[in-house]
Chain A
Amino acid sequence: AQSVSQHNHHVILSEAASLELGCNYSYGGTVNLFWYVQYPGQHLQLLLKYFSGDPLVKGIKGFEAEFIKSKFSFNLRKPSVQWSDTAEYFCAVNAIGRRALTFGSGTRLQVQP
């Protein structure tokens, strides 16, 4: 079975600080990887995704993530966070051929002005 671990549950940063949120998955086969974001009071939306090719993927709002196959990781990064990045971030994995995404426990990011 596939599973996802997010080790940072709550992160507090000041504006302009750099961000890295960890995500590790457990599955031996080929996977697709996703980061979703949930802004306060809003529905979940896709931030970025990795299917194949360049392991460094770029998403919306300056976010990027790097897939490291040997480490089963897909960490999310942003060089300089803004107050508007305050949200909850979820890593998700989908094994090829499986219909449903498996989500991690989420990381709540609080950016202080």
Chain B
Amino acid sequence: DVKVTQSSRYLVKRTGEKVFLECVQDMDHENMFWYRQDPGLGLRLIYFSYDVKMKEKGDIPEGYSVSREKKERFSLILESASTNQTSMYLCASITARGQNTGELFFGEGSRLTVL
């Protein structure tokens, strides 16, 4: 089974702190994604990566950056956390062959609270 692991299930940070959210997948998937999930807004795409060191902005990239130094790992970075970034963050992955035709595999999410 594909496993997408998000390192932190729950985090509490203070405004202005730098936050790292880590995601690792074990199926050699080329494509990885970061979404945030908010009640009433569904999932919104922050960033995605289709190869090592490659990244593209999603629909709401402001305030975030990402890093993909290794194929299996995709990190989301909040340079200076703000209260409006309190949310559930979901990582997902899929093979390049599977994109457009297959299913995304999701991690269990990281719930971030910024005080």
Contact = CB atoms under 8 A, between A and B. Distances in A.
Interface of A: 4, 6, 9, 32, 34, 36, 42-46, 49, 51, 90, 94, 96-106
A97 B90 contact: no
A32 B100 contact: yes
The 5 closest A-B pairs by CB, nearest first: A46-B103, A103-B43, A105-B42, A44-B106, A43-B106
A104 B108 CA distance: 19
B58 interface: yes
B contact residues, range: 20 to 34
B45 interface: yes
25 contacts: A6-B42, A9-B40, A34-B103, A36-B104, A43-B4, A43-B90, A43-B107, A43-B109, A44-B90, A44-B106, A46-B104, A49-B103, A90-B42, A94-B99, A94-B100, A98-B100, A99-B50, A100-B45, A100-B48, A100-B58, A101-B45, A102-B59, A103-B42, A103-B44, A106-B40
